[in-house]
Amino acid sequence: MSDPVLVTGATGNTGAPVVAGLRGRGHRARAASRHPDPADADAVAFDWSDDATFAPALTDVRAVYLVAPAGAADPVPSVRPFLHLAAARGVRRVVLLSSSAVERGHAGLGEIHDLVAGIFDEHAVLRPSWFMQNFVGDHPLAESIRRTREIVTATGDGRLGFIDAADIAAVAVEALTASEPVGEDLVLTGPESLSYPEAAAIVSEVLGQPVRHVDVTTAELARRLASAGYSAEFSDMLAALDGRIRAGEQDLVTTTVRDITGRTPTSLRHFLAGHASRLASSP
Ligand SMILES: NC(=O)c1ccc[n+]([C@@H]2O[C@H](COP(=O)([O-])OP(=O)(O)OC[C@H]3O[C@@H](n4cnc5c(N)ncnc54)[C@H](OP(=O)(O)O)[C@@H]3O)[C@@H](O)[C@H]2O)c1
C-alpha cells in the first residue's frame, strides 16, 4: 500500500468523504482530528493550535488535504509552520480547501493559497461555492430553517452555485491521487446557479412546509451571526460575503467537478431530498 495521505478536518463536511473516498480506492488515509476515533487505526490527534501534533501526523506522508482552522481570525500563523514542516518531511503534494470567494493573495485562505503554491510544485487549490450542507447541519442557516422556517441572508436575489461537499471531496480525491496534478486553481460549483429565494422554494417543496427567504442588510446579518455565537470579526466577514453575492459576483457555474471526476454534480433539490429529515429536526 502507498504512503498515507494526511487528511486534516477529517471529521468535517469535506474531510470525512475525502477519507472515505481515499480508502474506497485502496489508499491509506490518515484521519486528523482533535478527537481521533479510537476505533480507526489510521486516525491521528491533530490540533492547529498545538504545533507539537504536526510532526507525528506528517510521518511518512506524501500528500496532504488541508482544511485550515475554520472560524480562526487569522489561520496563517498556525498553517505556515505546518506547511514548512510538511515540505521538510517530504510531503510532495498539497490540496487546499479554499473558497470561490477568495482569490490567491487575499487575507486568510488567500494567503494560505499563496503559501501552498509557493512551497509545493504539486498543489491544487479547491475554491468551492457555498456548501449545500449549510442547509442541514449546524450552520446558522440550517438552524434558522429548523427553528423559524426562515432563510435569512443579505443576498437579495443574487445567485450562487451551491455545491454538495461530497462533490468537492470527489475532486479532492482525484487531486490527491492522480499521477499528474489535475489543475492548480479550481473553482467548483454545483450544476446550477440559484438565489436564496429560489433555494427557499426548493426547501419548502422538499419539507412540505413553507420556508421563506428574509432579506436583511449586511449590518443586520452580522448582528444576527454575532448573537448566534460567531466572533464579531467573523460575522462581519460572512455578512460582507453576502453583499458580494447580492452584487452578482458569485453567479457562476463551472464544469470542473464533471471535468475532473466524470460525475454529474448533485443538484440542490436532489441533495435536500436525500437529507429531508435533517431539514426538519436537529442532526
Ligand atoms: N460552508 C461553506 O459554505 C463554505 C464554502 C466555501 C468554503 N468553505 C470553507 O470550507 C472550510 C471548512 O468549513 P466547514 O464549515 O465545512 O467545516 P468542516 O470541515 O465541516 O469542520 C471543520 C473541521 O475542522 C476541524 N478543526 C476545527 N478546528 C480545528 C483545530 N483547531 N485543529 C484541528 N482541526 C480542527 C474539525 O475537526 P475536529 O473537530 O474533529 O478536530 C472539523 O473536521 C472552511 O475553510 C471554509 O471557509 C466553506
Average pLDDT estimate for 9-34: 98
| Contacts (Cβ under 8 Å, ≥6 apart) of 15 | 7, 8, 9, 31, 65, 67, 169
Same domain flag for 235 and 271: yes
For residue 31 and ligand 1, the question of a CB distance below 6 A is answered with no
Q: Model confidence over 155-198: pLDDT tens digits? A: 999 999 999 999 999 999 999 999 988 999 999 999 999 999 99
Range of the domain at 17: 5-128
Distance 14 CA to ligand 1 centre (A): 8
Q: Is the pLDDT score of 281 beyond 90?
A: no
Distance 210 CA to ligand 1 centre (A): 30
Q: Which of 110, 128, 146 is the last residue of a domain?
A: 128
Cell numbers of 154, please? Answer: 443579505
Same domain flag for 22 and 115: yes
Q: CATH number, domain at 89?
A: 3.40.50.720
Same domain flag for 213 and 96: no
- What are φ and ψ of residue 142, in 5° steps? -65, -40
Longest dimension (CA), the chain: 55
As a whole-number percent, the residues of the chain with pLDDT over 90 amount to 91
Distances (CA, A) of 34 to 13, 45, 91, 97, 202: 15, 5, 21, 19, 36
How many domains does the chain fold into? 2
Q: Is the pLDDT score of 86 beyond 60?
A: yes
In a domain, 166, yes or no: no
**How many separate helices (H) and strands (E) can be counted in the chain?**
12, 11
